[in-house]
Amino acid sequence: MKNMAVIQYEDGANIEITYDFESSLFKLVERDDIDFIIVSTVLEFSPLGKNLDYFSNELNIDGEDISNLANWNRYENLEVSFIVLPSRNPLSKLRGLIIAANENSKCYEKYESASSLKLNRDFHYNVAYESISYAARVLGAQKISMSHLSSSGHFHEETTTFVAEALADFCDFDGRSKIDRFLFVGCCMNEKHFSEIKELNSDGNANGNNVTTSVHHINGFEVINLIW
């Protein structure tokens, strides 16, 4: 695990921004490096698919239920949403899992520019902000990890900056829910992709978006829809 930046709350407390692309999620949880995981809704060649059995055992949630929820959020759901899977295992150090919409999701089609392949900043920022906010405020997560939300095989380094902006704004606007550490995990990213984050941390030029949310349930799990 390597540190790359620090964001400071108004009261002087710090949140570490780190990354670890070598350790397994199992090891990160067992070492108390993370207590919550946000992953994209893609199953193939992804942190979610690679760790499906681990998530099922650690959270005490049927693996088929996790797969079905992920596929629904990717292929059928027209709304920008994330699905919350709180741990059902009282002995686990992992508080839960969020399965978030990404660029492969059907809902992303309306945000993608038809004339260019320019990444949609609001999509990535809003999904990251609301996922982080829910994990911290509702489930009490303090050490949150997140994989990238780019489409499979087409990682955009801008996504790390959008996530960092969301994290910085969360610290500014909702300092009551303290996060101690934020960890980038998964594939495709490397150290060169984080230069913008270091600059963001030093100048503090993070901006927010107004998002409203609605909630419904599928198979007993909360689905948080984002509207902007």
CATH of the domain at 11: 3.40.220.10
- Host domain of residue 116: 2-227
> Rounded to an integer, what distance in angstroms lies between the CA atom of residue 169 and that of residue 188?
25
Looking at residue 203, its pLDDT comes to 45
Looking at residue 206, its pLDDT comes to 47
Least confident of 20-24, 52-56, 150-154, 209-213: 150-154
Least confident of 4-18, 83-97, 138-152, 186-200: 186-200
Lookup result for tokens 């609605």: 214
| Token pair belonging to 43 | 């199953």
- Go through the chain and tell me how many residues it has: 228
| Token pair belonging to 207 | 């901006």
Question: How many domains does the chain contain in total?
Answer: 1
> Rounded to an integer, what distance in angstroms lies between the CA atom of residue 139 and that of residue 89?
14
Answer whether residue 204 shows pLDDT above 50.
no
Confirm whether pTM is higher than 0.85.
Answer: yes
Region class of 178: left (phi > 0), else alpha (psi between -120 and 50), else beta: beta
4: confidence class by pLDDT, cuts 50, 70, 90: confident
> Rounded to an integer, what distance in angstroms lies between the CA atom of residue 142 and that of residue 154?
30
114-133 exposure pattern, b = at least 16 Cβ within 10 A, e = fewer: eeeeebebebbbbbbbbbbb
More confident residue, 44 or 88: 88
Percent of the chain with pLDDT over 90: 54
> Rounded to an integer, what distance in angstroms lies between the CA atom of residue 133 and that of residue 62?
26
